Chains A and B, each alone.
Chain A
Amino acid sequence: MTTGESIEQLRAGLWKDNPGLVQLLGLCPLLAVTTTFVNGLALGFATLVVLACSNVLVSATRRWIRPEIRIPIYVLIIASLVTCIELMFKAWFPSLDRSLGIFIPLIVTNCAIVARAEVFASRNPVGASLADGIGMGAGFTLLLVTIGAFRELIGQGSILSRLDMILGGDPMAGITLIDGGWLLAILPPGAFFSLALAVAAKNVIDRRREAARRAHMPRNLRRADGATATRA
């Protein structure tokens, strides 16, 4: 595998095939924990680690696993990894563990993970699977962090509160921009609105880029290219 290919994998996860924005996978944790920047970052990072490790393990064992038993094996691998991550959170980041609560063990049920194992890792070599896991995990983290920061900013008028849960030390209040905020952003409907805004923003950016790309193209190629580009 070349470096170019792994960069392509990373870019696909971060933008083009972003698990949250495009594939709309793993919405349960995405909507539930993104009330603050710190929560989003922590759950995103935990998901990234599980995704990268499970992709590597599934890819490394893909030759010995018969197709009939692949699903129970994925479940075993993912559930063990998540249990290990949960124990590590309890040991080293106890306040984050209390803040995220049930959503750390629930990483098991994040369908983005089993989807990448099935669609990608079971058919590709270890290196590419690792790149795919990191890319998809980073894409998911980026979305969680963006939505978390957005909801925290709108809902509480502050940003980066409780950063101490990751860095350690005394509780930090974060940076307060406005006193009080718009409550709706923190409530469950706010999660849906924020996700909708994020998906819309991505589509707008993609369309602008596409238009800019086509404007630079010779006239005789535009139609043929436009036909294939409408789906993207």
Chain B
Amino acid sequence: MKSAQGIFASAATLTLIAAICTALVAATYQLTTSRISANQQAFLEQSLEPALSGVSYDGSITASKLVIPAPHELPGSDAAVVYRAYAEGRPAAALFVVTARDGYSGPIRLLIGIRADGVVTAVRVLEHRETPGLGDRIDLSRSDWVKQFDGSSMINPNFGGWAIKRDGGEFDQLTGASVTPRAVIKAISETLVYFDAHRDELFSLPATGEGQ
């Protein structure tokens, strides 16, 4: 019977230690949770800001969050997020958070700001794993490459111009990296096409509440 007792003793020790560890994690979570959500909110607002340059709008931009569940015609196979800005009740701009899935090393998360008249306000890379020194120059902290999309639209450049110069398009490439810029340009042009087709619907849908 000794071995049975041993097993129970082991199980009891394991349970006790698991309970203590859980309590430790729970306490840390309680201590940090409000700070973490405040940080995330601040980071979001801060990262949305550049895409709103030159747009005047009312109220909080994050309150107008709209989640478009997959499948959709936007880039990426996960749910896309759109933040909408209104000025005096009229649509001012839409900010898309989409995923370009064909990056060189993993998905690239992009923030694309489009004014109500279809002109791109700014594009920012939110998250990527591109090669340091090559593809990572899509990030504004590494180079100004991503600024060339400011002011572009579906008709500027025209349809064939939405490609890097090597592919006969209008946009600068990055030396040593062509997969990354292609992925970014494709994602932006797809978003512009989507915006053009769904503009009224996008601005009239009610905001998606938290937890959905």
Q: Are A90 and B133 in contact (CB under 8 A)?
A: no
Residue from A35, A66, A81 in contact with B9 in the complex, judged by beta carbons closer than 8 Å = A66
Q: Which residues of A105-125 are within 8 A (CB) of B?
A: none
CB-CB contacts of B104-148 with A at 8 A, as 1s and 0s?
Answer: 000000000000000000000000000111100000010000000
By a CB distance below 8 angstroms, the chain B residues around A64 are 13
For B37-48 the 0/1 string (1 means CB < 8 A from A) is 001100100000
Chain A residues with CB below 8 A from B40, complex form: 94
> Of the 9-residue stretches A10-18, A20-28, A72-80, A210-218, which lies at the interface with chain B?
A72-80
- Contact count band on B: 20 to 34
Contact A61/B35 with A66-B9, A66-B10, A87-B28 known, Cβ cut-off 8 Å: no
Given A35-B132, A69-B10, A186-B133: A91 and B24 interface contact (C-beta under 8 Å): no
Instruction: Given the known inter-chain contacts A69-B14, A90-B36, A91-B39, please indicate yes or no for A186 contacting B132, CB distance below 8 A.
Output: yes
Give the residues in chain A near B35, CB-CB below 8 Å.
91-92
Q: A83: which B residues are within 8 A, CB to CB? A: 25, 28
Interface of A is mostly: helix
Interface status of A88 (Cβ within 8 A of chain B): yes
Given A65-B13, A76-B17, A87 and B133 touching (CB < 8 A)?
Answer: no
Q: Is A187 on the interface with B (CB-CB < 8 A)?
A: yes
Pairwise interchain contact B13-A90, C-beta atoms closer than 8 A: no
Alpha-carbon gap, A133 to B134, bound state (A): 39
Query: Using Cβ atoms and an 8 Å threshold, which residues of chain A touch B131?
Result: 187
- Contact A155-B133, Cβ < 8 Å, known A76-B18, A84-B24, A87-B32: yes
Query: What sequence of 0s and 1s flags, for each residue 46-79 of chain B, a beta carbon within 8 Å of any chain A beta carbon?
Result: 0000000000000000000000000000000000
Given A76-B17, A88-B32, check contact A66 B24 (CB 8 Å).
no
Closest Cβ of chain A: how far from B12's Cβ, in Å?
A: 10
A77 and B39 CA atoms in complex are apart in Å by: 28
Q: Does A170 contact B (CB under 8 A)?
A: no
Identify whether the interface residues of B are mostly helix, strand, loop, or mixed: helix
A196 at the interface (CB under 8 A from B): no
CA A213 to CA B17, docked complex, whole Å: 49
Bound Cα distance A81, B9 (Å)? 24
Pair A87/B29 contact, Cβ less than 8 Å: yes
Q: Does A68 contact B (CB under 8 A)?
A: yes
* Per-residue contact bits, chain A 49-85, to B (CB 8 Å; 1 contact, 0 not): 0000000000001001110110011001101110110
Question: Which residues in chain A, 160-187, are within 8 Å of chain B measured between CB atoms?
Answer: 171, 183, 186-187
Given contacts A76-B18, A187-B131, contact A68 B28 (CB under 8 A): no
- A positions within 8 Å CB-CB of B: 35, 61, 64-66, 68-69, 72-73, 76-77, 79-81, 83-84, 87-88, 90-92, 94, 98, 155, 171, 183, 186-187
Please name 19 pairs of A and B residues whose Cβ atoms are closer than 8 Å in the assembled complex, sorted by A: A35-B132, A64-B13, A65-B13, A66-B9, A68-B10, A72-B14, A76-B17, A80-B24, A83-B25, A87-B25, A87-B36, A88-B32, A90-B36, A90-B39, A91-B32, A91-B36, A94-B40, A98-B43, A183-B133
